Amino acid sequence: MNVNEVSVNGSANGVSCESGTKSAGKRSNGLCNPVKDNSSYGSYEMVEEIATYLLERTRIRPRCGIICGSGLGCLADQLTDVDSFDYDAIPHFPVSTVAGHRGRLVFGRLGGVPVVCMQGRFHYYEGYSLAKCSMPVRVMRLVGCTHLIATNAAGAINSRFRVGDIMLIRDHVNLMGFAGNCPLLGPNDDRFGPRFLGMAKAYEPALLAVAKGAARQMPGMDDLLHEGVYCCVGGPNFETVAEGRLMALLGVDAIGMSTVHEIITARHCGMTCFAFSLITNMCTMSYDEEEEHCHETFVDVGRQLEGRICELVARVVASIGESCSETPLAK
Ligand SMILES: O=P(O)(O)O[C@H]1O[C@H](CO)[C@@H](O)[C@H]1O
């Protein structure tokens, strides 16, 4: 699908609950009102303006967007033919405020396949609405990406998992959605996608199969790899024991504070999605356990495993490259 072929009607989407937005050199710190100002932030025109700004400054025409999770910025460091843009230099872009999220958009090639990496993502607990957290996914779509790879650091609920394991995300539980919070809240803009969105195949089974096949060929990787269900909580606090146990009852294998809203946004604009969690800690499931949650330690887990993670992503991207023609999609 060419972005120029997306139908034109409907009003703008996007929810305003923002902090730290850079626009015309000013930062706004407006209070959260989930539906008000829907038309002024994250409109199709705004996303298009950002996409045009970027495309005028890079010759890379990416097919795949990659979101680097906490401590996983190494994924962007392996690109060649790089053009990078600090978030605070991109019009209308939020800024990263979390350690381990560098805060730049990196265009380049991964094994020859043109990609764009978010080296740092936005989280709800930073004060951004879910729509704003995932707005860059729409930018990825409008610069030509048909695929999204989202990565994250997550805590394990599943007791069979260990720190350093990788969980391919087969499905998610949109817990924040149960509470009425969703990146698609407010008027729908049909140029992005439909009002009502099916999510039964949110994570592309063919890419899961590619990743599993790739892992089998990587020494020691097969033992680290799992498939499971991810759940996003709002954060920034970690879970109580009772919440961890509830998650287990819900069928959740790993918990984080990201990814779900990005995948919803990506599916809304027709992107094919693949995601995985790096297990950085075991969730505290009993009052007898010491809680040892520390974001900086989680970031280090990512750094220790970067070789394997980069190779896994490179292999999935190679398969995406094979499935796409080299014809640029974007203007
Ligand atoms: O999901 P990413 O961005 O990898 O980050 C994870 O790590 C942080 C907690 O340490 C939270 O932001 C959680 O979501």
Average predicted confidence (pLDDT) for the chain: 87
So what's the pLDDT on residue 226?
Answer: 97
pLDDT digits (tens, 9 = 90+) for 202-254: 999 999 999 999 999 999 898 999 999 999 999 999 999 999 999 999 999 99
Atom in ligand 1 nearest the alpha carbon of residue 72: 4
Cα 74 to chain center, whole Å?
Answer: 15
Of 148, 197, 218, residue with least CA distance to 13? 197
Confidence band, pLDDT 50/70/90 cuts, at residue 193: very high
Q: Tell me if 260 sits within 8 A of 229, measured CB to CB.
A: no
- Specify the range with the lowest mean pLDDT, choosing from 3-7, 38-42, 172-176: 3-7
**Model confidence at 165: pLDDT above 90:** yes
Q: Tell me if 314 sits within 8 A of 110, measured CB to CB.
A: yes
ipTM above 0.90, yes or no: yes
% of the chain beyond a pLDDT of 90:
76
Beta bridge partners of 171: 229
Distance from C-alpha of 110 to C-alpha of 317, rounded to nearest angstrom: 7
So what's the pLDDT on residue 293?
Answer: 85
Report the pocket of ligand 1 as residue ranges, CB < 6 Å.
Answer: 69-70, 98, 121, 123, 152-153, 235, 256-258, 295, 298
So what's the pLDDT on residue 40?
Answer: 54
Question: Dihedral angle at the C-alpha atoms of 319, 324, 327, 331, nearest 10 degrees?
Answer: -100
Region at 301 (left for phi over 0; alpha for psi -120 to 50; beta for the rest)? alpha
Catalytically active residues, by annotation? 70, 101, 123, 125-126, 153, 257-258, 281, 295
Specify the residue with its C-alpha closest to ligand 1, atom 11: 257
Tell me the CA–centroid distance for residue 110 and ligand 1, in Å.
Answer: 24
Q: How far is CA 216 from CA 104, 212, 282, in A?
A: 32, 6, 25
Give the residue-averaged pLDDT of 55-77. 96
pTM for this predicted structure: 0.89
